[in-house]
Structure 1
Amino acid sequence: MYIGEFLLWFGNSIKASSRKKMKMGYFNGDMMLSEVEKDYTKQSVSNNPRPIGPYYAYNDRYLEIRGGMFENFRGIITWISLSIFLLVGYFSFSFLRIFYYLLYPQYYPFSIGFSFYLGLIFFFFVSAVMIYLLIRYFRYVYRLELFTIRHIRVRFNRVTQQVYIQRPKYCGGTVVFKWQHIMPANFGETGSDMGGTNMVNLLSFHPYKTGFPVAHSVGIGKNTYCAQDYKDEWEFIRRYMEYGPDNLAKPRLSTHLPLPLHGLGGHIKPMLKTVKNAKSVLVTMMMLPVFVILLPLYTAGYFISECLCWQPRWPKVIRQAGKAGKPTPKETQLSDYPPAVQQAILDSRLEWGVRDDQTGKLVDYGNS
């Protein structure tokens, strides 16, 4: 489910005119100068670095982990979309069937009356409207889980000291940033203790560091209720990038291919947490039947979503990055986007202000 990534990119790239029509204001993402100046890649935050994953690749050159927020809800949009597809298919099939009756009445033992013509008009009108709405508008919904990239991937290349994020185009596309510019958002100075929130590990790239007008954020790994998990996995990645894979536990690699049980862990964990926090045995007994029904539905929806998506290859320059004699991918720049998107991003740049720690005044760092 890419609703989180879509909303983040939508907020950064929506046109000023569209923002005005939708009565959307600009938010205040101001941060303190000490927060954005700090190099978070040099500070240890855990004595227990752990590869929680899921990881797709791990070698001397790079490691690759699954990205994406709200993966634990994946499957909901899939079932909604399939239900709408089925409804559109029913009306379209009904129109074609009546049309066939009228075209070859000699093959059927019943008379063709006025009701058939009325039904033909009705099903044609309804199916035409639904197909139009499906193509014109609903594609912005079902593409969050269907007919899109199977999983967002984040690759950390320790040779080039870069981070590559592979996302759908409607979520900002594939981007390249320097490793030294990364900022953990779930703990430390840039965030708060996120324990108990069932979130993934959030990482960001602030414009103060990158020079890109707006911030880019990405969630990596599994959802967790334990704040220490964020620190342990970040520390694992940090040590890999800074010192290499020696003295680090090798992560178990996951497959890109869809598997029926991929969605089980993400869905069963919050359900077990709900049962654990139930105030009485009676409440627990009342919730169990709901979970018994919802868990298979969520898991099946997740699997169907994976099957109806694909996992594209990285661009060649990223696949070869870090090999001897191969070029280093250039960092993402504003000019990489279409002119209309560039202007929308520039209109949003004032949201990412930086304030002086002593005076509280905005710092001019070329983003105004």
Structure 2
Amino acid sequence: MYIGEYLLWFGNSIKKETRKKLEMSYSNSDMKLSEVEKDWTKASVSNNPRAIGPYYAYNNCYLEIRGGMFENFRGIVTWLSILIFMFPLTGFYFAFIIASQLYNSENENIASDIFAMICFLITSLVLIYLCFRYFRYVYRLELFTIRHIRVRFNRVTRQVYIQRPKYCGGTVVFKWDHIMPGNFGDSGSDMNGTNMVNLIVFHPYKTGFPIAHSVGIGKNTYKGQDYKDEWEFIRRYMEDGPENLPKPRLSTHLPMPFHGLGGHISPMIHAAKNSKSIVMYLLLIPVFLILLPVYTAGYFISECLCWQPRWPKVIRQAGKKGKPIPKETTLSDYPPDVQKGILESRLEWCVLDEKTGKYVDYGNSD
């Protein structure tokens, strides 16, 4: 489910006029100068680097991990979309039945049957048009899109590549030295107990891009230490190489029926462990027996109706001898209307100097 990525990109790329129509106000992140200035690639945050994953590739040149927020809710939009698609398909089915009966001369009232068949066909065609014209903004969050967001860390080029759908910002390239953790920091922020993925951020203070790019990596977890352990694993891989690090178990890009099971079952287990009421246990029984299989099936259907595209050639060859280094993402890589929205949203990413109490002008303001 790419609703998190979509909302982040939508909020950072829409034009001022659209924002006014939707009554969306600008919000200030107020990042502290000490946080955005810090070189997070050198700071160790854990003595227990762990590869939690899922990982798709791991070698001397790069590692690749699954990205995407709210993967544990994947399947909901799929079932909703299937339900919506059933309306035009049902219309076509009835039209086919009537046409078959007319062909076999099974009905006597031919005029009324032809009229009913035409009504079913017209209604179904209109519904199909509405689905592809408007409802696609909903079903593309899980269907007929990229199967999984991927994040590749290339230690040879010292770059990070993020592969996302175009409506979530598309594929981007940033320097490893510009990375920041999003779930913990010097300000004391802590995502412990929130069941979130590990967030990484590329702030405009370092990248020069007008807005921040954020992406979630790995699995959802309730343990704040998991974020630090996996961050430390990636950090040491990029800085020191794969030696002295545990080799991660690699996952497959292909659809598998059990892929969605872990993400859906872990919140239920967490709720059961932390519940002190018998009522909660009774409520969890139908969830395990009914909702869990439904969610898992929806996840699998979503995977089957999506595809995993290849990286661009320049990224596939990045790090190989004699091959060019991919160009870092800039504002000019986007269409003019998107550029306008990004520029109008850049003021949301101000940086506050905690010593002076004033905002830092780093070229991201008028």
- Short-chain TM bin: over 0.9
Range moving further from structure 2, 293-302 or 86-95: 86-95
CA distance in 2, matches of 1:71, 1:190: 28
Please tell me whether the aligned partners of residues 36 and 206 of structure 2 are also in contact (alpha carbons under 8 angstroms). Answer: yes
Q: Does 1:251 align with 2:248?
A: yes
Shift, 1:121, TM fit: 4.8
Q: Percent identity?
A: 73
Specify the alignment match of 2:88 in structure 1. 88
Where does residue 266 of structure 1 map in the other structure?
263
Kindly indicate whether residue 161 of structure 2 is the aligned counterpart of residue 159 of structure 1. Answer: no
Moved more, 59-68 or 83-92: 83-92
Report what 1:299 is aligned to: 296
Structure 1 residue 170, shift from structure 2 partner: 0.6
| Structure 1 residue 61: Cα displacement | 0.5
User: C-alpha deviations, 1:274-308, integer Å up to 9, x for none?
Assistant: 12222223430232122210111111111111111
Give the Cα separation in 2 of the matches to 1:166 and 1:311.
10
Which 10-residue stretch deviates more, 180-189 or 285-294? 285-294
Q: Does 1:234 align with 2:231?
A: yes
Contact 2:88–2:125 (8 Å) recurs in 1: no
The equivalent residue for 2:358 is 361
Counterpart of 1:214? Answer: 211
Aligned partner of 1:325 among 318, 322, 341 = 322
Q: Residue by residue, what CA displacement relative to the aligned partner does 1:344-367 show, whole Å, maximum 9, x if unpaired?
A: 111111111112222221111111
Cα distance in 1 for residues equivalent to 2:97 and 2:187: 61
Residue in 1 aligned with 2:24?
24
1:128, distance to aligned residue in structure 2 (A): 2.9
Query: Is contact 1:91-1:123 (8 Å) kept?
Result: yes
Matched, 1:278 2:282: no
**Which structure 2 residues correspond to residues 113-132 of structure 1 after superposition, within 5 A?**
115-132=112-129
Which residue, 338, 343, 361 being the options, matches 1:341? 338
Between the two proteins, the alignment pairs up a number of residues equal to 365
Distance in 1, matches of 2:334 and 2:265, equals 39
Asked whether the equivalents of residues 183 and 190 of structure 1 are also in contact (C-alpha less than 8 Å), the reply is no
Task: Tell me how far apart the structure 1 counterparts of residues 115 and 25 of structure 2 sit (CA, whole Å).
Answer: 48
Give 5+ residue unaligned stretches, structure 1. none
Q: What secondary structure does 1:50 align onto?
A: coil
**Is 2:32 the counterpart of 1:35?**
no
- Provide TM-score, normalisation by structure 1: 0.96
Q: List per-residue Cα deviations over 1:78-131 (Å, max 9, x = no partner).
A: 1111111122211123234435655x4xx2232125543552354244323311
Provide the rounded CA distance (Å) in 2 between the counterparts of 1:60 and 1:108: 71
Superposition pairs for residues 133-172 of structure 1, below 5 Å?
133-172=130-169
Residue type at the aligned position of 1:148: T
- Contact map agreement 2:41 2:179 (CA 8 A) in 1: yes
Deviation at 1:30, TM superposition (A): 1.9
Which residue number corresponds to residue 290 of structure 1?
Answer: 287
| Displacement over 4 Å in runs of 4+ | 99-102
Residue 167 of structure 1 aligns with an amino acid whose one-letter code is R
Q: Secondary structure at the match of 1:188?
A: coil
Q: Contact 2:101–2:107 (CA<8 Å) still a contact in 1?
A: no
**Whole-Å separation in 2 of the counterparts to 1:244 and 1:86:** 51
Residue deviations 1:180-224 (CA, integer Å, cap 9, x gap): 100001012266211111000000000010000000000000000
Deviations along 1:247-296, whole A, 9 cap, x unmatched?
10000111111111011111110011112222223430232122210111
Aligned to 2:26, what secondary structure does the other structure show? coil
Contact between 1:55 and 1:65, CA under 8 Å: does it hold in 2? yes
- TM-score of the two chains, using structure 2 as the length reference: 0.96
* CA distance in 1: counterparts of 2:26 and 2:87, whole angstroms: 38
How far did 1:333 drift?
Answer: 0.3
Question: What secondary structure, in the 3-state scheme, does the structure 1 residue paired with 2:186 have?
Answer: helix
Quick one: distance in 2 between partners of 1:326 and 1:159?
11
More divergent stretch after superposition (82-91 vs 134-143): 82-91
Q: Cα deviation per residue 1:302-359 (whole Å; 9 max; x = unaligned)?
A: 1111111111111111111111111110100000001111111111111111122222
Matching residue's letter, 2:63: L
Q: Is 1:44 aligned with 2:41?
A: no
Structure-1 residue corresponding to 2:308: 311
Q: Deviations over 1:218-255 (max 9, x none)?
A: 00000001000000000000000011111100001111
- Cα distance 1:82–1:127, how it changes in 2: closer, same or farther (>3 A)? same
Which residue is 2:349 aligned to?
Answer: 352
Residues 1:201 and 2:198 aligned together? yes
Give the drift of 1:35: 1.2
C-alpha RMSD of matched pairs (Å): 1.5
1:56 Cα offset (Å): 0.5
Distance 2:115 2:313 in 1: 57
Residues of 1 paired with 2:25 and 2:277: CA distance?
A: 44
Residues 121-153 of structure 1, C-alpha deviation per residue, up to 9 Å, x if partnerless? 542443233112101111111111111111000
- The residue type equivalent to 1:312 in the other structure is P
Tell which deviates more after alignment, 93-102 or 233-242: 93-102
